[in-house]
Amino acid sequence: MNEREACQAIQSRINVTRQDVVLAKAHILTNFQKSTEGMLAKLLRDLHAQRPDKIVLHPSVETEPLVAQAAKAIAYQLAFGEAVWGLIGAGILIPTGTTLTRIDANIEWTTVVPGSGGTSSGWRFEEHDIRVPTEVRLAPSMKNRLPQPLSDPDLYLSDFQIDDLHADVEDALRQAVLCFRHELYVPCLAMLAKASEGAWVELGLSLLKVNPSHSGLKEEKRNKIREILESQYSSTLRKMEEVAQLYEKQEVFEGVSRRSGYNHRHLREVLNWSNVVRDSRNAVHYGADPATQNTYEKVAALLLGTVPNIKIIYSIRQAAEELSA
């Protein structure tokens, strides 16, 4: 691999994913210190993503691992920078001065090996440089009051660990956290109710694909339930009740229960949580009041309770999808 090929290989492998940024945010809050340079160094050490001292371009040296390591280091530097600014934007971190530190993406290379001469130089990937405040502090309100996952959508969603979370459900959850962060509790509950409804519909449609020829659930009944779930005119309550009642047919869904680890009783408990969310959301209607006031503590509890309950819904859904594949 020559100088040009190595440079192109590094450039092509620099890729920052949303998960990288989420990981960086969590690492910053878990290992917080005021120096951003110090936090970056620890992040790279913990992820085994330190920048190589030099990339050796010589036939006697395996260059590929060094190229991959260089790209990984730059990618995580970028993820760290995006995470810092994201946490500042969310009001979780506060810069303590006006000085910015530049995190450069320069990589040195050499053709020199012991016993031989050669050339040494470096590549400058200026488009991947990023600047962050030299020092930051945690916002005062973060220290005692607000649970960290509820302060940032990325941190909140990282707790779910659901690979096939529907895009609309994910977006609703993100908006719920943003609303909560700004103390907009009713809009937060509206988004939380939307996410809950979406998860129930997703589950119901997946359950309808299981055991299509089972005599205990005829095609006419399946079509009726599908129509209810897909209709924009069906109430949220009816959709949830239809799915809960459907899953009670354990003679049809026994395999799903075993595979997921959750039976119809577990799903009924999720329904109870969903109904509390729905009742609380109903405060958006003129003249309507929820059974209990939508306080900070109540809405925070509902948001935190969303994680285990949505996980149960999607665990059952995944089992249904696997058995109907």
**68-84: per-residue pLDDT in tens?**
999 999 999 999 999 99
pLDDT of residue 138: 87
In this prediction, residues 1-14 reach a mean pLDDT of: 92
d(C-alpha 286, C-alpha 131), whole Å: 48
Q: Which of 146-160, 183-197, 293-307 has the lowest mean pLDDT?
A: 146-160
Among 105, 82, 59, smallest CA distance to 154 is for 82
pTM (global) more than 0.75:
no
Three-state secondary structure call for residue 184:
coil
pLDDT of residue 146: 47
pLDDT of residue 286: 59
Q: Which of 124-128, 238-242, 281-285, 311-315 has the lowest mean pLDDT?
A: 281-285
CB 77 within 8 Å of CB 10: no
d(C-alpha 87, C-alpha 93), whole Å: 6
Kindly tell me if the per-residue pLDDT of 145 is higher than 60.
Answer: no
Kindly tell me if the per-residue pLDDT of 144 is higher than 60.
Answer: no
Q: In what order do the strands lie in the sheet with 106-110?
A: 55-56, 106-110, 120-124
CA dihedral 78, 84, 88, 92 (to 10 degrees): 150
The tens digit of pLDDT for each residue in 268-302 reads: 999 999 999 998 888 666 566 666 677 888 888 88
CB 322 within 8 Å of CB 260: no
> Bridge-partner residues for 95, per DSSP?
136
pLDDT of residue 30: 81
pLDDT of residue 61: 87
Q: Could you tell me which residue, 221 or 212, shows the higher pLDDT?
A: 221
The CA-atom distances, in angstroms, between 175 and each of 127, 189, 195, 204 are: 31, 10, 10, 24
pLDDT of residue 137: 92
Kindly tell me if the per-residue pLDDT of 148 is higher than 70.
Answer: no
In this prediction, residues 14-43 reach a mean pLDDT of: 90
The band of 219, judged by pLDDT with boundaries at 50, 70 and 90, is confident
pLDDT of residue 218: 81
Kindly tell me if the per-residue pLDDT of 119 is higher than 70.
Answer: yes
The CA-atom distances, in angstroms, between 290 and each of 272, 273, 297 are: 15, 14, 15
pLDDT of residue 282: 80
